[in-house]
Structure 1
């Protein structure tokens, strides 16, 4: 059996720093959205993704991929958003199995109300804690990890993924 490739001190610092920062950031973002807008972070992300499309709608399978959740997890979030009047479902006219999530006007207003506080918190806790060069390096590094985890890993010898 081969010996594991143990993490060096700097690798361990990077890993532990990522775990601490991502956990604390997630908690703070979740608290801020819940206390000010009554939304969970996954619900906020659903509204963001829907608002970024020309028609304010996405097929449920595409939306699940975009917000990095399972179909059942997305179904739960959509049901909660539907109960709040922020989204509605629409059947796909060309595929009886397909369903679209559609952003309502109330959903647009909720996102419009939630976005300034959310962005301010992200800026305060994350962006403003870093120098511009650190942000660019971190963006490149996290995009590379994300591509690897999605299975579309760019060549390690190629340029940074943008």
Structure 2
């Protein structure tokens, strides 16, 4: 068995700082979103994703994949959002087994109303604390790590 490649002090500080920042940032953004719009982060994720698609609809399986959710989690969440009138399920054209989730007019209104406050929260708690160079570095880091993880998603 090979020896573990332990993190050195600098690497450990970066890793732990990232984990702490991610947790605190996610918590603050969720609080702001709920206070400003009454939406949860999962609600916002579904609504914003659908709002950016052609026709404001997407196959359930594709939405689950994009959000990195299980089919079961998505199905349960969509049921709750349907009860609030934000989305609706439709039969998938040409595929009787699949389903499509579509944004309702109320769902579109909800995301249009929530987006400005959410973006302001992201700015206030992250973007405005970074220099232009730090922002470029963060974009480069996230792009590289996402590309690595996406390429190795099946392994």
- Same fold by TM (over 0.5)? yes
> Deviation at 1:152?
5.0
Equivalences for residues 1-162 of structure 1 within 5 A: 1-152=1-152
> Deviation at 1:149?
2.1
Residue segments in structure 1 that go unaligned for 5+ positions in a row: 154-162
Residue segments in structure 2 that go unaligned for 5+ positions in a row: none
> Deviation at 1:120?
0.4
Give the secondary structure class of the aligned counterpart of 1:79: helix
Tell which deviates more after alignment, 40-49 or 26-35: 26-35
Counterparts of 2:28 and 2:76 in 1: how far apart (Å)?
A: 22
Counterparts of 1:48 and 1:152 in 2: how far apart (Å)?
A: 26
Counterparts of 2:152 and 2:57 in 1: how far apart (Å)?
A: 26
Select the structure with the greater relative contact order (CA < 8 A; seq sep ≥ 6): 2
TM-score (norm 2): 0.93
Counterparts of 1:75 and 1:135 in 2: how far apart (Å)?
A: 36
TM-score (norm 1): 0.89
Structure 1 runs (4+) greater than 6 angstroms displaced: none
Higher helix residue share: 2
Listed one character per residue, the Cα deviations across residues 54-92 of structure 1 (whole Å, up to 9, x for unaligned) are 200000111111112111111122111111101001011
Give the secondary structure class of the aligned counterpart of 1:89: strand
